[in-house]
A and B are shown apart, each in its own frame.
Chain A
Amino acid sequence: MLRHLFKLIWNKKGTHSLLIIEVWAAFMVLFGVLTLIVFNLRNYLQPIGFQYDQVWNLELSSNQDTTEVAAKLQRAMQRVKSYSEVVAASRMSSNTPFSANQIGNSVGYNKVNVGGDFYYTDGELFKVLDLPLKKGRWYREADLAGKFVPLVINQKMEDKLFLNESGLNKVVKIDDKTSGKIVGIVDKFKAKGVYMSDNPALFYMFRKDDRWNSNILIKTRPGTDANFEARLVKDIAMMLPGWGVEVGYLKDSRKNRDNLTLVPVLIFLIVSGFLLTNVALGLFGVLNLNIAKRKGEIGLRRAMGATESGVTSQFLGEIWVLATFSLVVGLIFAVQFPLMNVFDLDREIYIIAILAAVAIIYIIVTLCAWFPSKQAAAIHPAVALHEE
């Protein structure tokens, strides 16, 4: 019977060509949207790697002030640490967690170069973000006395840079003049939000006299409120006249980052939802018309021995065959993505998206064909033959 259905649809391919194209287009859009969803969902299911609930970002900007910037930053840091509401504080570069800023660079080891996000911090970051170590330890003041810059990397960076070796205590090249020594390895650090992938990351310890990295991450005690925020801003502004002082909550920054990811996904979902609805309505209409046009054939098949359920199965089978034609064409395009490693995504993401898109297309065509097929089966054979 399957062969018969393939033959029937193949012989009518001209008539069905637009429908085949429509299902193909729906599959391609669905594949794109599902790839995006699977990618984000997989990222979401991965732990973010650090704590941010009670963490504030104090952003200091020296503006026109160029005198003793490093000393002023150190004083501000001391002041922040002195509050009883503060559990821990750490200075870091402007690419604080969930911020839109990014600092990218590459690091080399044994002719292997890996690009990643660089975070310039002091030795206190792990206390503020509760960053657990997998191996080694966090860098400390004493490490700055050594020949190499103390570094901590994440697992992703270790995997890419050292392949199957351990990266601990290895010396890596940062640029022509600078080399660093890896003293610790953290697990994950998804600094750009829960929906972002865990990119290779490197934490680079700067010296106390650094004047460029002016963000202070502050871990506050639970229950610390806006009164403290106002006091903090007022005190620091008084200490650093002419400087810009802003406080942001990492929790809020995370929400903003999440929205930046979710909004495009939502837009794609709405667009593909409209497209799929159109495809479904189109299929439904075409099938209804088909049944009206093929009453004689339905009567004939009943006369030749088809049961009611046989007629239903035939019409469902026809739509599945038609969908299969579209999906075969769609799959030729879709499999290029994992094969050619497009956008550097895991193959698994594409494969899951392909399988889900195929399943959804079959579900949609089945739902659309179910009612018309049942209608076809309900046509009385004597009436169908007479009408012809």
Chain B
Amino acid sequence: MIKLQNVEKVYRTSSIETLALNNINIDVKKGEFVSIMGPSGCGKSTLLNIIGLLDAPSKGQIEIDGSPVERYTDKHLAELRNRKLGFIFQSFHLINDLSVIDNVEIPLLYRNTSAKQRRELAQEALEKVGLSNRMKHFPKQLSGGQKQRVAIARAIVGKPEIILADEPTGNLDSAMGNEILGILQKLNTDGATIVMVTHDEAMAKKTDRLIRLFDGTQVS
């Protein structure tokens, strides 16, 4: 489902060259739940951004669902992100000026989906994360756990095959973190392929496979 071959990422400024990722080779099968672990600054988020097509590698190939994406235009990449990928972030990235349901609808705005259908799909996604009673609320009225559940609803509203989660439990207490992981596991059971970046060894152990990074290099 996700294939990275010899991926390298170098950040260059006029005076410094930083090797963020070095020779990464990953093959995530359809329906797998993979976690990426490593110390701060080891390149976990960079790797997730590359998998999520938010950043381009300096070298190497990426395939999403069998299609190499190197030559994709901005429009194609945007469409692929919209259709195939769902993102969950540590800091939720909810828009405070929009209600919960309007936040969840965002990915559908970039498709030809009618307003009625958008509302139905968003309601369905919110029901899946147990927040159907908070649809009219605004993000500021929610707890951290609830915000992350909204973010999950937003990630799954377009029914993507891949969910990319960047430390989804990082800002939550352990009980809330376990609850969020439970939702992700349920989504994985329902068929979603999940790649999760985490610091938490216990969380990582609950996934199918663990990829470890150290100083930009894949160590397992």
Asked if chains A and B come from one complex, the reply is yes
Using known A-B contacts A304-B81, A305-B82, determine if residue A297 contacts B95 with beta carbons closer than 8 Å.
Answer: yes
The CA of A148 and the CA of B55, in the complex, are separated in Å by 94
B95 touches A304 (CB 8 A): no
Using known A-B contacts A297-B95, A305-B78, A306-B78, determine if residue A3 contacts B52 with beta carbons closer than 8 Å.
Answer: no
Distance from B196 Cβ to chain A, minimum over Cβ atoms (Å): 16
Most chain-A Cβ atoms within 10 A of its Cβ — which of B91, B102, B106? Answer: B106
Q: Name the A residues within 8 Å of B110 (CB-CB).
A: 304-306, 310
Q: Name the A residues within 8 Å of B98 (CB-CB).
A: 7-8, 11
- Range of interface residues on A (Cβ < 8 Å): 20 to 34
Q: Does A300 contact B (CB under 8 A)?
A: yes
Chain B 109-135 against A: per-residue CB contact (8 Å), 1 yes, 0 no? 111000100000000000000000000
B97 touches A304 (CB 8 A): no
The CA of A301 and the CA of B95, in the complex, are separated in Å by 10
Distance from B144 Cβ to chain A, minimum over Cβ atoms (Å): 15
The CA of A249 and the CA of B105, in the complex, are separated in Å by 75
A382 touches B49 (CB 8 A): yes
The CA of A1 and the CA of B111, in the complex, are separated in Å by 10
Picked from A3, A303, A380, A386, the residue with its CB within 8 Å of the CB of B81 is A303
Chain A's interface: helix, strand, loop or mixed, by majority? helix
B54 touches A382 (CB 8 A): yes
Most chain-B Cβ atoms within 10 A of its Cβ — which of A8, A296, A307? Answer: A307
Chain B's interface: helix, strand, loop or mixed, by majority? helix
A307 touches B74 (CB 8 A): yes
A307 touches B75 (CB 8 A): yes
Picked from B55, B81, B97, the residue with its CB within 8 Å of the CB of A305 is B81
Q: Does B33 contact A (CB under 8 A)?
A: no
A299 touches B107 (CB 8 A): no
Q: Name the A residues within 8 Å of B95 (CB-CB).
A: 8, 297, 300
- Contact residues of A between 1 and 39, Cβ < 8 Å to B: 1, 3-4, 7-8, 11-12
The CA of A308 and the CA of B55, in the complex, are separated in Å by 14
Distance from A83 Cβ to chain B, minimum over Cβ atoms (Å): 83
B115 touches A310 (CB 8 A): no
Picked from A3, A304, A307, A380, the residue with its CB within 8 Å of the CB of B55 is A380
Using known A-B contacts A301-B106, A305-B110, determine if residue A310 contacts B93 with beta carbons closer than 8 Å.
Answer: no
Chain B 63-89 against A: per-residue CB contact (8 Å), 1 yes, 0 no? 000000000001100110111010101
Q: Name the B residues within 8 Å of A304 (CB-CB).
A: 81-82, 87, 106-107, 110, 154
Q: Does A252 contact B (CB under 8 A)?
A: no
B102 touches A308 (CB 8 A): no
The CA of A380 and the CA of B46, in the complex, are separated in Å by 13
Residue of A nearest to B76 (CB): A307
The CA of A335 and the CA of B93, in the complex, are separated in Å by 43
The CA of A12 and the CA of B23, in the complex, are separated in Å by 46
Q: Does A381 contact B (CB under 8 A)?
A: yes
Q: Does A302 contact B (CB under 8 A)?
A: yes
Residue of A nearest to B48 (CB): A382
The CA of A297 and the CA of B45, in the complex, are separated in Å by 18
Q: Name the B residues within 8 Å of A4 (CB-CB).
A: 102, 105, 109
B97 touches A8 (CB 8 A): yes
B97 touches A12 (CB 8 A): yes
Q: Name the A residues within 8 Å of B85 (CB-CB).
A: 303
* Closest CB pairs A-B (n = 3): A305-B82, A305-B110, A382-B55
Selected A-B contacts with CB under 8 Å, 14 pairs: A7-B98, A12-B97, A296-B91, A296-B93, A300-B95, A302-B54, A303-B52, A304-B87, A304-B107, A305-B78, A305-B107, A381-B54, A385-B49, A386-B45
